Amino acid sequence: MPDLTEILTASEGKSLEFKRDLSSLRPVLKTLVAFANTAGGALVVGREDGGKLRGLPNAAAEEERLASAIADGIAPVLLPDIEIRRHGGRDILVVQVARWPGPFHMKAEGPDRGVYVRLGSTNRRADGETLGRLRREAHDRAFDLLPCIGTDADDLDMDAIRRAFAAVGREIDAAKLESLGVLIRHGRARVPSNGGVLLFGRDEVRRRHFPDAQFRCARFIGAAGAQFLDQLDFEGPVLAGIDEAVKFVRRNTRLAARIEGLRRRDIPEYPPLALREALVNAVAHTDYSISGMNLRLAVYDDRLEVENPGALPFGLTVTDLKAGVSRIRNPVIARVLRELELMEKWGSGYKRMRDECGQSGYPLPEWVELSAVVRCVFKPHPEVAAQAAAGLGAEAGTKSAPSRHQVELLGFAREPRSLPELMEQLGWKDRTKFRKKFVRPLLDAGLLAMTEPDKPRSSRQRYVATASETNDFD
């Protein structure tokens, strides 16, 4: 059991709650049910919310009363560890509850309405989707391992599957797909699993069964998210969505310039490897049984957020996550990610993110559990933030600190390029906005030149990176 002083000085949260006494048993039982259904936890009786230790005048009698209430009021049988502890001359009860597959419920409310889960420091009645997850877990059936009813093997895009595995030098066939869980046995037939359709289903099939399984990306003006600067709703497979999200970040974030000797080194606003790790993690841990929610990437002036639907898997806390503890919500998707070398050893993702940030001077990302989503928040590299504050890294970019998408554009324009070619390179369609956002600032900074400067609107107009500047972007 953890040190009692640590428990008493901690704040209430997902796995800790304080009660003044046992005068009302129903809230106490709800907390124990929620702990058992979520991630386990400790209930301390005899301490006020404000921190004052009151103690219990007859702790032994209260222990017996609580044990009886648990036996009479909670199903299935819950066996917490109840201990009388003495601190500061006062007796208190410490109730430790492990996380067990249940789901556990309040007998008086029944197995449908009496199931509670922990959200932050509160207990919430499990909705239909959460109840479904708890019951599937009790039977050891992950959602992505279930058969996708109404589909057959022909609904998988085998060309896309072969391309994906060939890219990492692996061969693939039906037997291998079955071993990965992409195809599963259902009756006498071999059909795609939910995970198989999510990863490799043909577009029309995937959209019919999982219309919300897509990346939605937005670049907001300011820090509040009231107005869009750029937006992408990617309706393709979630695997391809990882690369599309990375491209979106590249064209909507800045670079800082650091001069090292005679060479210039560009520092991305956000850590590239850690960001990709967060996107892979989001794909692996999204709860795809939840409808109406998407994987989300949001870029603000002061931060970047990656968000996936679904609270942390039952039995896992943010502290566990940072310690490398792993609970796989989607075993099919996780196996495929490992085969495609997008995910390494389970539980090692946070360490890789931490290592890159520490070695390259980035702030560590913060993980936040919010209701039915998990959010990973990145802060800009201090040098990028400092140059932006000094007016050297504005969104449009400058000669001293061009944005990442401008660097990409200049590299592409080593040879003369037409405006449509430049737009296609960055995935833009609005000609007027593209000129204003990218071309005009580069022309004004002397980083880009027109081949027909006297006829700026000529159909033969091409744009080329200036010879004196192109070496800066090697």
Q: Which SS3 state, helix, strand or coil, does residue 285 take?
A: helix
- The answer to the question of residue 159 being in a domain is yes
Same domain, 229 and 371: yes
Say yes or no: 287 and 347 in one domain: yes
Instruction: Produce one character per residue of 192-210: b if its CB has 16 or more CB atoms within 10 Å, e if not.
Output: bbbbbbbbbbbeebbeebb
Token reading at 473: 């972007």
339 and 361 within one domain: yes
Q: How many domains does the chain have?
A: 4
Do the domain assignments include residue 388?
no
Phi and psi, residue 466, nearest 5°:
-70, 140
User: Do residue 185 and residue 219 come from a single domain?
Assistant: no
Quote the tokens at residue 30: 């709800």
Q: If 0-12 CB within 10 Å is exposed, 13-18 middle and 19+ buried, where does residue 234 land?
A: buried
Residue 463 is assigned to a structural domain of this protein: yes
Domain span including residue 408? 402-473
> Strands 448-450 and 263-268: what pairing?
unpaired
CA dihedral 89, 91, 97, 103 (to 10 degrees): -140
Q: 44-80 burial, b for 16+ CB within 10 Å, e for fewer? A: bbbbeeeeeeebbeebeebbeebeebbeebbbeebeb
Q: Which helix (H) or strand (E) holds 366?
A: strand 366-370
The distance from CA 407 to its chain's CA centroid, rounded to whole angstroms, is 28
Contact between 361 and 279 (Cβ < 8 Å): no
Q: Do 248 and 377 share a domain, yes or no?
A: yes
Q: Assess if residue 389 is contained within a domain.
A: no
Q: Indicate the SS3 state at residue 307.
A: strand
Same domain, 172 and 278: no
Q: How far is CA 243 from the centre of its chain?
A: 15
Calpha distance 338→129 (Å, rounded): 28
Backbone angles phi, psi at 194, to 5 degrees: -55, -40
Nearest to 232 by CA among 252, 216, 220, 212: 216
Please check whether residue 167 lies inside any domain of the structure.
yes
Q: Is residue 132 part of a domain?
A: no
Collapsing DSSP states into helix, strand and coil, what is residue 163? helix
Same structural domain, 178 and 262: no
Alpha helices of 213-341 — where are they, by DSSP H? 238-252, 272-285, 318-322, 331-339
Q: Are residues 369 and 418 in the same domain?
A: no
Cβ atoms within 10 A of the Cβ of 230, count?
18
Q: How far is it, in rounded angstroms, from Cα 428 to Cα 430?
A: 6
Angstrom distances, CA of residue 364 to CA of 27, 30, 148, 308, 398: 37, 35, 39, 19, 28
Same domain, 107 and 191: no
Do 184 and 232 belong together in one domain? no
pLDDT for the residue 157:
95
The pLDDT, as a whole number, for residue 140 is: 62
The beta-strand segments (E) located in 207-358 are 215-220, 228-234, 255-260, 263-268, 295-299, 304-309
Dihedral Cα 425, 427, 429, 435, nearest 10 deg: -60
DSSP conformation class of 156: B
Residue 265 near residue 246 (C-beta atoms within 8 A): no
Any domain includes 133: no
432-470: burial string, b at 16+ Cβ within 10 Å, e else: eebbebbbebbbebebbbbeeeeeeeeeeebbbbeeebe
> Cis omega before residue 76 (within 30°)?
yes
CATH number for the domain including 285?
3.30.565.60
Same domain for 304 and 360?
Answer: yes
- Residue 92: give its domain's CATH number: 3.30.950.30
Distance CA 332, CA 142 (A): 9
Written as one string, the DSSP assignment of 370-414 is ETTEEEEEE---HHHHHHHHTTSS-TT--SSS--HHHHHHHHHTT
Please give the single-letter amino acid code of residue 376: C
For 99, the 3-state DSSP assignment is coil
**168 and 113 belong to one structural domain:** no
Q: Which two tokens stand for residue 322?
A: 């940072």
Per-residue pLDDT 10s for the chain (474 aa) are 567 888 888 888 888 999 999 999 999 999 999 999 888 889 999 988 777 888 898 989 999 999 999 989 999 888 888 889 988 888 999 998 888 777 899 999 999 999 999 988 899 999 888 888 888 777 667 889 889 988 999 999 999 999 999 999 999 998 899 989 999 987 778 899 999 999 999 999 999 999 999 999 999 988 887 788 888 999 889 999 999 999 999 888 888 777 666 576 788 999 999 999 999 999 999 999 888 889 999 999 999 999 999 888 776 777 777 777 767 888 899 999 989 988 875 556 788 899 999 999 999 999 988 878 899 999 999 988 887 776 554 343 444 445 667 777 888 888 899 999 999 888 888 888 888 888 888 888 788 899 998 888 888 999 998 754 443 433
Identify whether 264 is part of a domain: yes
User: Which secondary structure element, helix H or strand E, spans residue 116, and what is its range?
Assistant: strand 116-119
